Amino acid sequence: MQLYAFDVNNRLVFSSQAHKQKNYTCPECKGIVRLRGGLQRQNHFFHQEAVRACRQSGKSVQHLSVQNFFLDRLPAGECALEHSFPEIGRIGDVVWIPKRIVFEIQCSFITAAEVQARNNDYASLGFRVIWILHDARYNKPHLSSMELYLSNQLHYYTNMQQNGEGIIYDQFSIIQHSRCLHLFAPLPIDVCLLQQQKFSKDQFELDVIRKRQLTWDGFFSGDLTDLAVKESLEKCAYLQKARDLENRYLTHKDSGLRNFIKDSLYAYLLRPYYLIFQLFLERCSK
């Protein structure tokens, strides 16, 4: 369902503000779209001619709700939806222009290769991508190859519903190989408050936070890193439970040379084949 289009003055117009019998332009394919809807169906734009390659017509209501969430919360005048990057042939879902951040919202299947390609394309223009994954598809007991690829990059999840209710969130989890063994309660983040400050990884007791300090480029207010920065572990039940769970799994690992050999075999020999096999299964299940 398409809720955005450009008017004759090249301004982005919401379906709630549009008028029937007028021509509008699709941000994606530049084709002509018009408004339809009524008592039984929400107002939305439709292509006058079917364009199979246009992703706008295939976006879910949840996807559009997440875009509206960002538009409502980011500073006025700084956020652009469906922002075109003609140099690389991309359209960003949500672009925070002053911060040079592209929020890519993903509610459907996507390969790790395509995620990497988008990241590289935007990086060539000096923009970084923060992926927002909808938990209707992602954040499940078995992680997709794309989620494994993103594990060392700044990303979050969302549970946004069609009516606009929901949050963008982070959470603590225990991941072994591609399985999520434990998943804590969501931590809502404030998408307006990006933190760039770097801390010494040694000041954090949680292993997951130490790893993020090495691989994540910043964090947002309210997420797990922010919680660890602001709260004392001794006074925060969430962090205490996370530490206890980490210690439980860390102490069950083998030590010494045996552990090194096992991890090396998995990382360099088994994991690549596993990811290829998992990608094959994901494609078959689309």
| Residue at a domain's end among 57, 74, 101 | 57
Helix axes 207-215, 237-251, angle to 10 degrees: 90
pTM here? Answer: 0.77
Same domain as 53, residue 64 = no
Same domain as 180, residue 265 = no
Q: How many domains does the chain have?
A: 3
Same domain as 201, residue 135 = yes
Same domain as 194, residue 71 = yes
Largest CA distance in the chain: 72
Same domain as 74, residue 52 = no
190-195 and 187-188 beta bridge pairing: unpaired
Same domain as 229, residue 110 = yes
Same domain as 14, residue 84 = no
Same domain as 25, residue 68 = no
Same domain as 101, residue 51 = no
Same domain as 122, residue 80 = yes
d(CA 142, CA 282): 11
Same domain as 96, residue 30 = no
Same domain as 83, residue 48 = no
The per-residue pLDDT string of the chain (286 residues; one tens digit each, 9 = 90 and over) reads 687 788 988 888 888 888 988 999 988 788 888 998 876 677 888 888 766 567 666 678 889 889 989 999 999 899 998 898 999 999 999 999 999 999 999 999 999 999 999 999 999 999 999 999 999 999 999 999 999 999 999 999 999 998 889 999 999 999 988 899 999 999 999 999 999 877 876 788 899 999 998 899 999 999 999 999 999 888 999 999 999 999 988 766 544 445 556 555 555 566 666 666 666 666 665 5
Is there a contact between 199 and 206 (Cβ–Cβ < 8 Å)?
A: no
CA 117, 173, 240, 187 torsion-angle sign: positive
Domain membership of residue 76 as a residue range:
58-250
- Return the half-sphere exposure (C-beta side, CA atoms, 13 A cut-off) of residue 100: 8
